[in-house]
Structure 1
Amino acid sequence: MAFVRGGLEGRPRGGHGSVAYRLKSATGEFGYRVSAEGGRKETVELAEKRVATWSPKLARVFSIAL
């Protein structure tokens, strides 16, 4: 699996100068198991970009320690 890490896409500030949210991205080849013809299982690798988001409000909702 080839994997290239992305950086933080910016740190937009809220009304009081605090971080409003953060984005983290990663691109690479990710493997998936699929059913092929005849019921065989195959692994295919697909190029994709994955994005994760974080916000202080979300952290409070799920009680994630900062």
Structure 2
Amino acid sequence: MRPLVSVAVAVAAMMMALLSPAAAYKPSDSYLSLRLNGQEIIGQWDVALRDLDYAIGLDSNNDGDHHLG
């Protein structure tokens, strides 16, 4: 290959590698909603079950199923 073509191919490969989205791991989503009702604050916290399991151990028998209730 000619040197100019080699440089162009190397630059194109680096750009594709840097601009491609990384899909290796998506962190869990957690949402906190707050609203004011007079002098009362009402809140709701939505947390993924896998995060709750990690934090407080919802899956006590480690079978991968979460049984609530």
TM-score by length of 1: 0.30
Greater strand content: 1
TM-score by length of 2: 0.29
Greater helix content: 2
Structure with more contact order per residue of length (Cα contacts < 8 Å, sep ≥ 6): 1
